[in-house]
Structure 1
């Protein structure tokens, strides 16, 4: 996979993680539930591409 694609995925992961942390601080369970699977999918995709 192209290095630019990997960079984009890692950037997205960083943004979603910050959003998740903000939701956690404000105890916004609705946002946490929405962001959790997205973060998990991005981690999985990055892991597959790094193999």
Structure 2
């Protein structure tokens, strides 16, 4: 979950390449209505938790 909101554009978090040893997190700007993202986003703090099921 995003812990900060540092840029004017909304951001979305994607988790992929999940494995037993780790995963990758990607931050994407979300296009909302007529707003266009520029493909870049400033630094944000992302909190995460890994647990066994």
Determine if the TM-score, normalized by the shorter chain, exceeds 0.5: no
Instruction: Return the structure number with greater strand share.
Output: 2
Greater relative contact order structure (CA < 8 Å, 6+ sep): 1
State the TM-score, normalizing by the size of structure 1.
Answer: 0.20
Instruction: Return the structure number with greater helix share.
Output: 1
